[in-house]
Structure 1
């Protein structure tokens, strides 16, 4: 990994605040008007342990993939884990524009595209961000080349790069958590991310179009399980922009049925939280009292508990 002398901002714990109740089942008899957001952790759910690789996937744009990646990374970094995020989205407003990789002067800049075309290792494409314990593999518009040039072995490229890195580090990944932020499509880069991951995290914006798009994602995940990554599981479904409605409840119940092994986690709306990308800060720094900051912090603790909780 390239070094930098730029001071890095620590990510502090959040102040005490409103936390969601964690339940193993929902009470179907409660009318939605009286229904409060709750985190569902069914009996089949198993928290992760480091080192772990998560793919964040949904082919629908605006579902909250990048926000989910940034906030979970920030929460795990604040809990003491060493985290790397991989930008699998070529769009300019994606992960790399939010977390701003710190490139060293006078050296060639590598990216995820470089890894796919076997021009460098994953470690050589990893750069510090401005935040302690978070590194990034950046991407830009040239990542689209992977989709139309289709380099040999592209579906397995990320899995192979991660395996090589772990082998060179003595058999274990140098990162406790790796998060791969997928593009708003189910193309080759997203399939490579799912192939490389231990588990997938699925953000879904509470809305009708997102609900309809779940069928395509479901088919892609099942296809990857059959063909390239039989160990892949859905760790959690995060219901972003959550508000109290009969539709929100219907969506929650549907995804709980589709993925019975997964946690289902509401992420409440927050006006100030939507400003965090423009400020180039995680929500937990920009608006630490906002409900989404607390919800993502709690989601991180459920999906992969902090060191003290896991001990």
Structure 2
């Protein structure tokens, strides 16, 4: 059974794209078939995997969603790129901004992405969707298509405070559109374990959500090496295979697999 996970936070700079890429490639390294979907008009996931000009790619997620919106035929592998680390990628670019606007006037506008994913689910074990840092219509499409949501949160007070709005949106999608949607877990990212306030943030997170939402025991440490991977166009496993971030994503991958 394929599991579709949306990686979501309405705030940027919290490690969504880095997590999507390294978790996806981590799952591939465990032998699973993995598709990553770049659902961000900035094309950050596409760029970070070595496709340096997302806006120059002809067939992207926007192309596919546009065809589904117009009831046009889409072939099974259309638009999918095969990355040299074994995962597949459906790229995203600025054209998604146009799709965001067009969706407003569509019938069943929340289900366009789900209709597409339903046609390819049988080809993969995991599909990870890297969402844009907003709660617009493309993100709602991702939540409607997903089985679970993974929420990366930077270990600081303000990003933590913004969680409530995201959780309300997820609850609304579950109530009105996708009753099977579950929260996979909250992942603390960019964690600098030296300051005492980080320990306070971790305690606050557990006090607020423990029992309601899974909080991954594995945290992703703050590291310049992790930031470098986006420019290198490859995963942390190739860029710094023995570093602390690679070990952290390996442990996270195990947590995701075991549930």
TM-score of the superposed pair, with normalisation by structure 2: 0.87
Q: What root-mean-square deviation, in Å, do the aligned CA atoms of Structure 1 and Structure 2 show?
A: 2.1
Rounded Cα–Cα distance in structure 2 between residues aligned with 1:122 and 1:233: 27
Is 2:199 the counterpart of 1:250? no
Match for residue 156 of structure 1 among 98, 111, 122: 111
What SS does structure 2 have at the residue aligned with 1:87?
strand
Rounded Cα–Cα distance in structure 2 between residues aligned with 1:146 and 1:259: 34
- Within a 5 Å distance, the mapping from 1:1-311 to structure 2 comes to 50-92=1-43, 94-100=44-50, 109-118=58-67, 119=72, 120-121=74-75, 123-132=77-86, 134-150=87-103, 151-166=106-121, 173-244=122-193, 245-254=198-207, 256-257=209-210, 259-261=212-214, 263-305=216-258
Deviation at 1:262, TM superposition (A): 5.2
Q: How many residues align?
A: 244
Deviations 1:118-152 (A, max 9, x none): 253563121212222x0111111010012212144
Deviation at 1:292, TM superposition (A): 1.5
Rounded Cα–Cα distance in structure 2 between residues aligned with 1:178 and 1:223: 22
What SS does structure 1 have at the residue aligned with 2:27?
helix
- Checking the alignment, whether the CA contact within 8 Å between 2:51 and 2:233 is kept in structure 1 is no
Structure 1: unaligned runs, 5 residues or longer:
1-49, 103-107, 167-172
Rounded Cα–Cα distance in structure 2 between residues aligned with 1:299 and 1:62: 19
- Checking the alignment, whether the CA contact within 8 Å between 2:50 and 2:234 is kept in structure 1 is no
Structure 2: unaligned runs, 5 residues or longer:
none
- Checking the alignment, whether the CA contact within 8 Å between 1:270 and 1:290 is kept in structure 2 is no
- Checking the alignment, whether the CA contact within 8 Å between 1:66 and 1:95 is kept in structure 2 is yes
Deviation at 1:273, TM superposition (A): 1.7
